[in-house]
Amino acid sequence: MPRNAYGPWVWSAYRAYNELLREKLRKRFEEKEGPWMDRLADELVALVDARWEGGRKAEKTESDILARIDRLLEE
């Protein structure tokens, strides 16, 4: 078999290797940063909800949420 015939298999092997590495990294980040990211996601959802509501009440709520996000980002 000519050497260049292995190209697709070699490409598949590299791709599988990279996917495995990506999954392992994802697991490590989930273990270490998951709870923090959950809190940040909650605040971002609250921010979108506050902006959806609109009005003066939402402006104060947005300020409070943005302050909490700033504190999270400083952790």
Per-residue pLDDT of 36-75, as tens digits, reads 999 999 999 998 888 887 766 667 788 888 899 999 988 8
Contact 39, 69 (CB under 8 A): no
Range of the domain at 64: 3-74
Phi, psi of 32 (to 5 degrees): -85, -45
Query: pTM, whole model, 2 decimals?
Result: 0.62
Domains identified in the chain, total number: 1
Give the CA dihedral 33, 34, 36, 39, nearest 10 degrees: 160
Contact 47, 69 (CB under 8 A): yes
Gap between the terminal Cα atoms of the chain: 57
